[in-house]
Structure 1
């Protein structure tokens, strides 16, 4: 038997079928691309709200700080700022909203401030308070655990007198200078002022010998 001939499509037949199918579907009732299409009305986006957080340690006020964040800010951003404030030496951290009370503990670092019903508004308009407590990191480094040594401490150990005036005069040259400035007075020199609280009228940057 002679081999059967394969049927071949004529040129332009495939294009005609595509055109016919498209023309059939375009006239259907489900077409929304015509002149009668009405775009949906989208609501206006809500303005972003902010809050200024007063972050306070429950035991020491010198580590308090403020940070202005959005209400969509995650809680871990606040926790990360606290850890950086302590130089990373924190093992565990507990946060309290508004006041130090076990009922006000907030947890869940992935949650936003909006989830905890923090107030919000324009920048600089709304404030809130977060108290925190922490457990310091445990360090087993022998270098960091070594008691720091100084010449004054070693001299006190050698003489057997800790913190006496005679030992301080021998090991602290600043006291000799203060005594020379005071003349032949037998009164002990007044202690040097603390760099943290300079006297009134003195420049902020003071050079201590």
Structure 2
């Protein structure tokens, strides 16, 4: 990553477009993977009255404290009596339906009503100072010139659509950093029929 100047203070600092959205991109990947696996386990259904079907599902669950509704903005409009909530009980949830928090997910075609009493989450942690809150690895290191091979330089040329000369390559080598961002977790599904999936047309 040719961006050492994004990690220094002073007049030589330059902001890199997209760098601040790395966390969002990581969350999107985790989000998408979870919903894809959910759709493989339980088929989506189409119902006439989405709101009532969700209420019926919620009424069958004894402990409602771990039920969460995931819906995109478009999908959420299909629900009746959605209420704004700033309780802060669940991060990134600003609305509720039937007293159940709604999280606006990246999924555009489904509403997921999930009882997390039926889901076990294993999150890999570390006591290293490089891990934020022990769960997210953020590691920024400098490139070592000796590991930048001709193959890497060729890839730079191909990706950027430009043939760098020797002086430019020396500058790039001096300004490169390695960025490693890692979150690792497993979802263990105890019971197959735990998802109530509704196709929003």
TM-score normalised to the size of structure 1? Answer: 0.20
Higher-helix-fraction structure: 2
Q: Which has the higher strand share?
A: 2
Larger radius of gyration: 1
Q: Give the number of the structure with larger relative contact order, counting CA–CA contacts within 8 Å between residues 6 or more apart.
A: 2
